[in-house]
Amino acid sequence: MKRRDFLRTAGAGLAASTLAAPAIAQTMPKVKWRLTATWPKSLDTLYGSCEDFAKRVAESTDNNFQVQVFAGGEIVPGLQVLDAVQNGTVEMGHTAGYYYWGKDPSFGFATAVPFGLNARLQNAWLLRGEGGALLDGLFADFGVHGIPMGNTGAQMGGWFRKEIKTVDDMKGLKFRIGGFAGNVINKLGVVPQQLAPGDIYPALEKGTLDATEWIGPYDDEKLGFYKVAKYYYYPGWWEGAATGHLFINRNKWDSLSKSYQAIVTAAAADAAAGATAKYDDVNPPALKRLIANGTQLRAFSPEIMEASYKAAIATYDDIGKKNARFKKIHDSMMAFRDTCYSWWQVCELTFDAFQVKMLGRS
């Protein structure tokens, strides 16, 4: 090869490599964000889903996009996650939307509402129905982008120091309960309290609380409620499913490339699936351990369930008259629920009911 041809070929190759390097760098820029969670580290399913999310984002970007995870209280108190994301203290946070129902009761639909959807229907409404779009408008008004990240499945009704058989037994109870479900149960004479997870046990132990709900056997066992309250009630009719949300500062979200946005969305979906699967795996043995430790399992009476349902309908009507957005989202969710249950009662419900009936017979 002639020297002139060699130099021309080498120069072309050098130019190509020089152009390629910045192109790759632009698609995978260095990003370091902080995520603050509502949850303490001891809740390894909820807090753990944040760690799983951060790991997946890093792996998907060759460690160019790194998310540092902080537990509740390390940067801001557990119930101030939305505020921290809004004002830019952190770029993102993981929490339950219904903690912020005081800002707008419509936030309740992001997590769970009394006699709402079960886990599968909640996911379907958010991902395939109108739920995602309706809530995105709400989140945008508060300066955040929201991505569903984790569903606990149906929750328990909580821990009580004494048996609760009638509606009268509930009157005056100081009950820690999340979201605007407190508004509903207040109609039954209960005094609702909203506390972050780390504050619940001390309040229950000291008698500041008479009862508390949290999630289910696995997490409740970790928080030790069985040590100070004997009666464990079901079902948690206010949380037939509970979805956590990844909230991202809207300006920070908009600053990300489309590829990074896709990676964040996919990582959140992966973490969400893992969290729900873990709850289904760890709750059954945890319930057995709790019963072995003296926990008394109780079902809410039909009287309490029916009174609670009526109180929920009245609450929806009251809020809907004052808040058009709330009414629109509520109507969408309940229409979706009713349509889906018309199918579930044909097949899903009958299959599950038969399976439960046959337990121990094989």
* From the candidate CATH numbers 3.40.50.720, 3.30.750.24, 3.40.190.170, 3.30.70.20, the one assigned to the domain spanning 31-152+241-281: 3.40.190.170
Task: Say how far apart CA 289 and CA 218 lie, in whole Å.
Answer: 10
pLDDT, residue 128, reads 96
Enumerate residue ranges in the chain where pLDDT < 70: 1-26
Task: Say how far apart CA 150 and CA 111 lie, in whole Å.
Answer: 10
Instruction: Name residues whose C-beta falls within 8 Å of residue 269's C-beta, 6 or more positions apart in sequence.
Output: 148, 149
Task: Say how far apart CA 221 and CA 223 lie, in whole Å.
Answer: 5
pLDDT, residue 26, reads 59
Whether 256 contacts 264, CB under 8 Å: yes
From residue 213, alpha-carbon distances to 133, 194, 200, 324 in Å are 30, 10, 9, 30
Q: Give 165-223 as a DSSP string.
A: -SSGGGTT-EEE--TTHHHHHHTTT-EEE---HHHHHHHHHHTS-SEE--S-HHHHHHH
